[in-house]
Structure 1
Amino acid sequence: MSARENSRLILQSDWQDALREAEGTAWITYKKPGESTSIHGELTCHGLSVDQTPYITPSQGFAVDKVLKVSLLGHRISVSYEDAVTKCSCHFQAPSDVFMNIHQTSVLSMDVSRGGLGVSSDSRGNLSLWTSDNGDVRRRLEGHCGDVYSCRFFPSGLVVLSGGADSQLKVWSAETGKCAVTLTGHQAGIMDTTIVDKGRNVLSASRDGSAKLWDVGQSQCLTTFKEVGGIINSCALDVVTQEIALGKGAGEHSEREVATEGKMLLLGIETGSLQGFGLYSREKIFDLNCHSAVNCCCFVSDNLVCCGTQDGCLYLLDLRNTETPLQVIKESRSAILSLQPCGAGVFVGTGDGSCFLMTGAFQTDLELTGSDCDPIYSIAADGSYIYSACRDKTIRRYSCMKQ
């Protein structure tokens, strides 16, 4: 299946600042699918209303459909372009908060809890816990050497799992900052992690070409998935619909293995495949050829998964029919580096700094602005806000409420 390319609107990354002053301008570009040329225009501010919302006029066939300023939620603008052949529109949302002091170098991974905490890691081996409403650092978690590629909260929000270039998987107390467990066994850096149920078992994916299921309580590896054919860049785990056969699960299982039944493990492989395994059965269920390195993967529902590739394609796959992708979408962007499910859609972070919502109808509905061409390495959500982690050392927070 060939990739479908959508038309795209691109807005200046700091548009909300540029349009704050009278006669201030921000550039806007329309890119038509399959064409190298683009149409460029400007948005110009002609003063502010009583509530400080700008009056904006566009040029070159662009139209401003709506401008919103809500003090606690940031700014949002809706822009469209129309010619004789096509019409394209998009909402652009500026961050409501920008956290610049948590890290001093590229932020590689991030997670947020519903209890008001964030955890993030960077390219110097730093792991930080911070308050998600204002970015104040609560404590530093020290113990990794080198890049920390993955960090995430256990469901309780009180425990953190991390993995990095030092091949170590660590479990931390968010309350004390102490490392409770260090799991070793990989022969190369750990690129991604995921947690089984409440966290008695966890999973790690490594550059050594293997994924491991661990018993945290006894610091033991319970099984290894290693017949994957290359470096594993990403992993995801979830319960799938009963329509999907996950294998028979022959053989003995340790009593230390908890809640692995009915779950599928996704692995994104550097050699260009997305693979699915029955976690309990250990059987490979499918192997989808994506033609380029798979950088990230996630579950959208109990029967739909997606992955992003180095060549900028987003693959959407129905697990009830894994022979052919449901959709392959390429939006004239660079490599897809991060994914975060949101309702029936998924937020997508790319190497050119774009962060957009791909809806269930396979259309770009919303762009989160702020990054000026710096890659978005991680996206997280806490139910009220979306957070992006960027190479420019910044974590940005966006309201995901309806406006």
Structure 2
Amino acid sequence: MHIVTIQESFLDVIQDVEAGKVTHENIWVARRDTSNEEHQEYYDVTVLMKEGKLAFTSDTAPASHLKFQQNGHRQFTVDIADELGSHVYHLRFPDSKLNLGLRGSKISTSAILPDGTRLLIGTDAGHIMQYDTTTARLVSEIKNAHLADILQIVVLPSSQVMMSVGLDLQTKLWPVTSGAVNLPARIFLAQKGQITDIAIIDRGRNFLTASVDGSVDLWECSTAQVVSEFRRIGGLKDPVTCIALAEGQPVKPELTVGGDLLHGCSRSLVFVGYKLGTIQQYSVAGHYQTGTKLQRPVAVTLLHIEGGYLVSGYADGLLRVYEMKLNQETKEGQSENLTHSYYDLQLNPNFPIEHASVSSKKRGLSIMVSNGPELLLQVDFDGASFCYTQLVGLSELFRIVLIEKNGSNLYVATENDIAQY
């Protein structure tokens, strides 16, 4: 796989040339192969106006070797020919970027309110900050929300409260407010290893946390009590890396485990990804391991459920899309056993699939996915095959900490910036 990077100020250069501030200006484009990332090819591209139109020429390569053209708003194509033939790369730049100017800390995670008005930032110093997305103004800050890095922030459906997960093994419930906040409304602490994922059930009265100690805990929010714990039969201490919720047949009331501490869990199924490569499904309300089990010999690093598909990512850079189909022999009251076919896209094998946002299209899926430093992709899956565009225009050596879709907007957080595509 080839990774193409481009000068961060490329769009600024284009604006200067189009505005007549300069007659021409050079930018660089680089390409490297994931089979040998230490070797990079660099190309100088001159941006200029020809006959009233934007043009691109290259002095470091023959005209037949590198071609660069604009295809649409902030979208470009690079065509590089080598001894193996012509390679076409589709590039897309962000619509906007916001540098928060954090001092002495980096962005470790982020989230956005459903209405898109507030951006929540967690830092590696344990602080939580809330910004107005229109003005980029800091609205509020919770200092020392955790003793170490904020690993994840999720906003509950009401948009009135949020949960933060810290490297200190604690999950905390906070109000989303512009006023001063000193203490969390609840603290959830039970698991003995780093918390790797969190999933909100229904309106948030129940939620799940996953841990490297091998457990997935079901919590009741108002009491801060663990309702039940899930561990994989045959691998009780296999570290859990990620979880994703789905819906199935409702569990009969007499078969539920948790009683009055269960809220909106009757149809909830959870897919759990493990370090040893297993994806196992559980019934949340029934508290049992179902017959649905998927296996690869590589650590699972990402799970998403969308539109009848299970999207999984792995430590070796493989993106796999399972098409989940209900077995017609399933009986009422039982959890679904699923048959599945799958489609693979091998990305950079040197790094894990780290973050993704998945949404349904008329046919298939749109997957925004990160895979190591400087690789952020928009992957389109049509139900049988993949094509992708590289999302560029971020700082050099960027590493993604979160990808989140909000309406038609895609927000991407790096350790230093927030970009909107």
TM-score by length of 1: 0.82
Quick one: structure 1 residues 309 and 367, their matched pair in 2 at CA, closer, same or farther if it must change by over 3 Å? same
Select the residue among 386, 394, 397 that pairs with 2:416.
394
Separation in 1 of the partners of 2:314 and 2:240? Answer: 13
Q: Partner of 1:379 in structure 2?
A: 403
Separation in 2 of the partners of 1:200 and 1:167? Answer: 20
Select the residue among 326, 347, 367 that pairs with 1:346.
367
Separation in 2 of the partners of 1:370 and 1:109? Answer: 17
Work out whether residues 183 and 219 of structure 1, in 8 Å CA contact, stay in contact via their aligned partners in 2.
yes
Q: Percent identity at matched positions?
A: 16
Separation in 2 of the partners of 1:49 and 1:179? Answer: 62
Larger gyration radius, structure 1 or structure 2 = 2
Q: Partner of 1:317 in structure 2?
A: 322
Quick one: structure 1 residues 155 and 260, their matched pair in 2 at CA, closer, same or farther if it must change by over 3 Å? same
Select the residue among 188, 195, 199 that pairs with 1:194.
199
Work out whether residues 229 and 271 of structure 1, in 8 Å CA contact, stay in contact via their aligned partners in 2.
no
Please list every run of 5 or more consecutive structure 1 residues that lacks an aligned counterpart in the other structure: 1-6, 70-74
Q: Partner of 2:262 in structure 1?
A: 257
Post-superposition offset of 1:39: 6.5
Separation in 1 of the partners of 2:138 and 2:37? Answer: 46
Work out whether residues 379 and 389 of structure 1, in 8 Å CA contact, stay in contact via their aligned partners in 2.
yes
Equivalent residues in 2 for 1:361-372 (5 A)? 361=382, 362-372=386-396
Are 1:237 and 2:238 matched, yes or no?
no
- Larger deviation: 345-354 or 97-106? 97-106
Post-superposition offset of 1:104: 4.1
Separation in 2 of the partners of 1:340 and 1:128? Answer: 22
Higher relative contact order (CA 8 A, sep 6+): 1
Quick one: structure 1 residues 168 and 49, their matched pair in 2 at CA, closer, same or farther if it must change by over 3 Å? farther
Equivalent residues in 2 for 1:115-126 (5 A)? 115=115, 116-126=117-127
Separation in 2 of the partners of 1:156 and 1:43? Answer: 49
Equivalent residues in 2 for 1:41-60 (5 A)? 41-47=43-49, 54-57=54-57, 59=61
Quick one: structure 1 residues 236 and 331, their matched pair in 2 at CA, closer, same or farther if it must change by over 3 Å? same
Quick one: structure 1 residues 43 and 281, their matched pair in 2 at CA, closer, same or farther if it must change by over 3 Å? farther
Post-superposition offset of 1:85: 5.0
Post-superposition offset of 1:49: 9.6
Post-superposition offset of 1:192: 1.6
Work out whether residues 32 and 39 of structure 2, in 8 Å CA contact, stay in contact via their aligned partners in 1.
no
Report the residue type matching 1:288 in the other structure: L
Separation in 2 of the partners of 1:223 and 1:385? Answer: 37
Please list every run of 5 or more consecutive structure 2 residues that lacks an aligned counterpart in the other structure: 18-23, 327-337
Are 1:328 and 2:328 matched, yes or no?
no
Post-superposition offset of 1:314: 1.1
Deviations 1:102-157 (CA, angstroms, capped at 9, x unpaired)? 57433222211133112121222122222223432222224311122111111122
Q: Which SS does the other structure have where 2:260 is aligned?
A: coil
- How many pairs does the alignment contain? 380
TM-score by length of 2: 0.79
Equivalent residues in 2 for 1:219-298 (5 A)? 219-227=224-232, 229-239=237-247, 250-285=255-290, 286-298=292-304
Report the residue type matching 1:127 in the other structure: I
Q: Which SS does the other structure have where 2:255 is aligned?
A: coil
Report the residue type matching 2:299 in the other structure: A
Post-superposition offset of 1:160: 0.5
Separation in 1 of the partners of 2:296 and 2:165? Answer: 26
Equivalent residues in 2 for 1:118-137 (5 A)? 118-137=119-138
